[in-house]
Structures are given as C-alpha cells and as structure tokens.
Amino acid sequence: MSKIVRFHQLGGPENLRFEDVPTAQPAPGEVRLRVTASGLNRAESLYYHGQYFEEPRLPSRLGYEVAGIVEAVGEGVDRSWLGKAVATVPGFSQNRYGTLGEEAIVPAGVLAINPPTLSPAQAAATWMAYLTAYGALVRLGQVTRSDFVSIPAASSSVGLAAIQLTRDVGATPIAVTRTAAKRAELLALGADHVVVTQDEDYVARVSDITGGRGARLTFDPVGGSFAEKLVAASAAGGIVFEYGLLSAEPTPFPLREALRRGVGMRGYSLMEIVSDPTLLETAKTYVYDRLADGRFVPKVAKTFSFAQSIEAYRYLESNQQVGKVVITVR
C-alpha cells in the first residue's frame, strides 16, 4: 500500500484527502517512482478549483512535478532507468497520472535525469519552471543580449527561471511584482530592475528603464486587464507571451496599440515543447547543461512535509513565496 492525495469535490485545499491505495504496477510505456519530493504549481490549484484547462474527473489525483527513484518499469521501457534519480517534466493528464503521493505512475517519456548537484527538493522545482521559460523566451522569442525582457509575477518559480535564463544570454530582466515586499529579494536573485505595479506607473517605468525602446519580450502568466499595459510598454515589433490564467478577468487584445507599433500577443503553454519529443530533448539538454554547471539554480521558497500537503497548497495560494513551494515526501 502507498499513501496518495486526491480530492472528491471542487474547491480549495481543504478538499484534499490522504488515502491509502494498493501499489500500482506500471503499464506498457510507464514507470513507477518512489517519490522523494513534489514541486507545487499554480496549475494544480487551478485544477482542484475547476478552473484549469483539464476538467477533473472526480475523485481525482493531482500533481505534475516530482523527484524520485525509478523502482519499476512497464513493458517496452528501457530497464536502465531502474534505480535512477529522476524528476518529471509536466505535460500529462493529472486525471490519469497525478503524482502527489508516496508513489507515482508516469509515462516514461516525461522523465528527466537529475544533475547530481541538485537536492531532491531542487529537482522537484526544476522542469516546469525552466522548460516553460525556455520555450517562450529562447525557442519562440529568440532572446538576445540586446533585449529587455519584462517578467510579471517574477517571484514565481517560472519567473525566477526566466530571470536566470535572461541573464544567461546577456539580456536585461525587468522583474514585475505587485507590492514592494519582494523587491530586494528579486534584485538579489538577479533582476536588473524591479517594477512595483502598486506604487509605480508600469508603462512609464519600463520606458525609463529601456531608454524609450520598450520591452521586446514580455513573459506573463497573469492576463486580465493589465495586458493592455504590457502591450503599451512593449517595443515596436515586440511580443507579449501569455502563458497562464492567474487573473479572473477577461484578457483584452489592445488592437489599436498593436496595429500602431506591430506588437503581438501570443498564447503559449509548455505542451508546445512536451508534445514534440525532438523539441523536448533539445530543451532538456539546454536546461540540464546549465543546471549542471551552476548557471541555473532552482530557488526553493519553502518546504513542507507530506503530512502538511494541505498547508503547503494554502501557502502556495497565499502568494507569499519567492520561488517554488516543495513537499518533501521521504
């Protein structure tokens, strides 16, 4: 038997339940992990609230991102995976493959080897963040050292990964945050500039930072009405990547401003990378190499024990964290 977390009705973290289930055997193409740590993502919160792309089939497990040891493989899976320390690349169904628990069954194709420099908690904080940032900024945005990159919700794990990636290519990261509480830490973690939207005029501040050029790339998980300001602060020919649904407001497309200066707005998700094995391997190599030599360092904001899973998701939803919230399972 193993212990998992799942929910039987939509709502907040209070609906999460610990349940004992028989140890499952991996089907063809799958592996079973002995989970050591689980990284929490906004996708899970949206999922159990019933606000995510995928609709839960109740009762449902949850969880995308774990680190662990491969302890069983299904038919057709290379047995050399057995015993290896790995983490999962998000991009599978939480209905089918929810990972929060002592054990998890996942498709073999989502496994990524952990660099030996990473702790289990750091490994569980890696792949959603860095691959999401890579897909938008490197693959699609083709970021260069001359670019200014605006990063709303910069204190999230994906935002911090985007800061590191931007600095790695020599470009200038502009961290965007709602309140001043996280300004100092964002600067310490690599942001060249921080814009506090509660206190500052975002468009004017980005114009000042960029010498009137604007941000060529904007990497936004929020959406909502603030997207109009993101477009207004963009460089001519710039692009705003919208990769999340954190705002409950509709997201307008400011057509007049976009037409005037040729600014684009593009929806983007990690699935663009995960769904193509060739793209995924290229992206994993890019990230792994920089993790291994220390250019990329995952930031763990706070860890909780497995028994504290409900408290961990409450903390995630409080927006207090800078970096990844992680549950240590073993």
| β-pairing verdict for 172-177 and 193-196 | parallel
Point out which residues pair with 268 in neighbouring strands: none
**b/e map 267-286, b = 16+ CB within 10 Å:** ebbbebbbeeeebbeebbeb
The rounded distance, in Å, linking the Cα atoms of 269 and 174 is 21
Place of tokens 């998890």: 104
Is residue 243 very low, low, confident or very high in pLDDT (cuts 50, 70, 90)?
A: very high
pLDDT score of 258: 86
CATH for 2-126+298-328 (2.60.120.680, 3.90.180.10, 2.40.30.10, 3.40.50.1450) = 3.90.180.10
Question: Which tens digits make up the pLDDT trace of 180-189?
Answer: 999 999 999 9
Non-local (6+) Cβ contacts of 288 within 8 A are: 112, 113, 115
CA distances from 175 to 128, 244, 316, 325 (A): 19, 17, 20, 20
Which pair of structure tokens corresponds to residue 19?
């349940």
Superfamily for 130-271? NAD(P)-binding Rossmann-like Domain (3.40.50.720)
The domains of the chain are located at 2-126+298-328, 130-271
The rounded distance, in Å, linking the Cα atoms of 126 and 132 is 10
Give backbone dihedrals phi and psi of 20, rounded to 5 degrees, phi first.
-95, 130
Question: Which tens digits make up the pLDDT trace of 25-80?
Answer: 999 999 999 999 999 999 999 999 998 889 999 999 999 999 999 999 999 999 99
Is residue 155 very low, low, confident or very high in pLDDT (cuts 50, 70, 90)?
A: very high
pLDDT at 245 over 90: no
What pTM, to 2 d.p., does this model score? 0.94
Q: Could you tell me where the DSSP H helices lie in the chain? A: 42-48, 94-97, 120-123, 127-133, 157-168, 183-188, 202-209, 227-232, 255-261, 271-274, 277-292, 309-318
